[in-house]
Chains A and B, each alone.
With several copies, the nearest count.
Chain A
């Protein structure tokens, strides 16, 4: 399959996303420049981590108005896959492609750590290769990862099973101590109503090798591979996903 990784001014983990998809997964992966509108026919577009525009004003606020986002929106509307990691998640919320927003960590300080997240649903192209309830150890590194949304929105994404990942302790329990940033309901990642746009704070692209950060991130990236395999690269139909076992 073909991945695209957007490079905004201030994107930082773009090279890591390219390494993970190209060198580790062995897929085709191309950088996409923020001043372009064209996604060059990629199957899954990744909005990488980093500090686009220095996180000035609000994380993702300025990236959301760059030309490439028109391409991303069109791709998403056509059912194409969009994966926002960390800053990418913030940008997708700012752009209205995902509900809610991400604000300063409750501690007010940046946090870099390895956390445990629970896969809440395998009913997305990004988790179809995982078991619901499966635990993944993934790195986080952010200053503004506290997920917020109004009650109505939160209730809605809960009932539509659009909360895809939650922070838990090693035993898989959703407890306050396991929440690294104060996110509502320990939310670590959410998807859109069409389930083809995912945003998450943890970094799957940083957990793809035993030597550096473990391999749990592959569970997510391989799911995308799997889905694209089943749905034919390039094809643009809303994902219809068989729930995992």
Chain B
């Protein structure tokens, strides 16, 4: 059966220091990409889910984010659901 593909985007909260983004921006400038005004580096997580219906899935994935995938103190997350590979 074709399951569900969940896409999770975890990004540093606004206002929270993102040292990684800062360092990447610096290197891009050194490489001559001066047009880069700001960089934020986060996580992108793809999950294949089996045996779950779409509506239930959303709630489950949000739980996964709160309990493991994202750190609510310093990170925000966003979830998208799509057609999974079978």
Contact = CB atoms under 8 A, between A and B. Distances in A.
Direct touching of A and B (C-beta under 8 Å)? yes
Interface residues of B, number: 21
Contacts of B19: 54, 56, 103-106, 108, 146, 182
Interface string A50-69: 00011011100110011000
A93 interface: yes
A150 B15 contact: yes
Contacts of B67: 65
B59 interface: no
Given A62-B27, A65-B27, A54 B20 contact: yes
A187 to B, nearest CB: 12
A54 B74 contact: no
A111 B47 CA distance: 28
B24 A94 contact: no
A65 B18 CA distance: 21
Interface centre among A53, A61, A106, A149 (most CB of B within 10 A): A61
Interface residues of A, number: 26
A214 interface: no
A74 to B, nearest CB: 19
Contacts of B69: 57
Nearest to B41: A57
A62 B30 CA distance: 10
Interface centre among A62, A106, A107, A151 (most CB of B within 10 A): A62
B30 A65 contact: yes
A100 interface: yes
Interface string B45-86: 000000000000000000000011101011000000000000
Interface of B: 13, 15-20, 22-24, 27, 30-31, 41, 43, 67-69, 71, 73-74
10 contacts: A56-B19, A62-B68, A66-B30, A93-B73, A103-B20, A106-B22, A149-B73, A150-B13, A151-B15, A182-B19
Given A57-B43, A62-B68, 11 more contacts: A56-B19, A56-B23, A56-B24, A57-B24, A57-B68, A61-B68, A61-B71, A62-B23, A65-B31, A107-B23, A108-B19
